[in-house]
C-alpha cells in the first residue's frame, strides 16, 4: 500500500490505561501497519494537554472508554468543545470492553467516528484494528496534508 500522507508527523494515538492492552495494540499494529508512528497515553488529561498545546496532530485517536481519571467520553466532550481542535477533524474511535448501551448512546451524541467492542480473541481484534486503520488511511479529511 502506498501512502502520500505523512504518518511520521501524524501519529496514531492510543489512549489506554491497561499496560497489557497497550502491548497488544503495539504488537498488532507493528504487524498490520508498520508505517504508523504510535503514541500511547494512559491518561485522558495528558492527551488533552498535548492536543491543546497544538504540538500534536494525530492521524487517528483510538480511545478506551473506561479510564482512571478523565474517561474517554469526558475527553471526547472536551475535544468537541474546543473549536480549534474540532476543526482539525481528527478521527476519534472508541475500542472498549465491556460495552454498555447507555455509553454507546452517549458516545454517538458526541462527534465520534466509531465504537467497537474489543474482541477477546486476538485474531478478531487484529481484524477490527486492521479495518479501522485501512479505512482511515484511505479516507480523506480536511486535515490531511496530502489533500491540495
d(CA 66, CA 44): 10
At residue 26, the pLDDT reads 97
**Tens digit of pLDDT at every position of the chain (148 positions):** 444 567 778 899 999 999 999 999 999 999 999 999 999 999 999 999 999 988 888 999 999 999 999 999 999 999 999 998 888 889 999 999 988 899 888 888 888 999 999 999 999 999 999 999 999 988 877 666 565 6
Q: Which of 75, 41, 76 is nearest to 56 (CA)?
A: 41
The CA-atom distances, in angstroms, between 73 and each of 30, 105, 112, 125 are 27, 11, 10, 21
Grid cell listed for 147: 489533500
Q: Which CATH number fits domain 12-137: 3.40.50.2300, 3.30.210.10, 3.40.640.10, 3.40.190.10?
A: 3.40.50.2300
Look at residue 46 and give its three-state secondary structure: helix
At residue 4, the pLDDT reads 55
Amino acid at each position: 500500500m502506498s501512502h502520500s500522507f505523512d504518518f511520521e508527523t501524524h501519529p496514531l494515538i492510543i489512549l489506554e490505561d491497561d499496560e497489557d492492552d497497550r502491548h497488544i495494540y503495539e504488537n498488532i499494529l507493528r504487524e498490520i501497519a508498520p508505517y504508523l508512528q504510535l503514541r500511547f497515553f494512559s491518561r485522558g488529561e495528558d492527551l488533552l494537554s498535548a492536543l491543546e498545546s497544538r504540538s500534536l496532530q494525530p492521524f487517528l485517536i483510538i480511545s478506551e472508554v473506561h479510564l482512571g481519571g478523565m474517561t474517554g467520553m469526558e475527553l471526547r466532550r472536551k475535544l468537541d468543545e474546543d473549536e480549534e481542535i474540532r476543526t482539525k477533524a481528527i478521527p476519534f474511535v472508541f475500542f472498549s470492553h465491556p460495552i454498555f448501551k447507555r455509553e454507546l448512546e452517549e458516545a454517538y451524541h458526541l462527534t465520534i467516528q466509531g465504537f467497537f467492542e474489543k474482541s477477546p480473541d486476538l485474531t478478531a481484534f487484529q481484524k477490527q484494528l486492521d479495518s479501522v486503520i485501512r479505512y482511515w488511511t484511505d479516507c480523506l479529511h480536511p486535515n490531511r496534508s496530502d489533500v491540495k
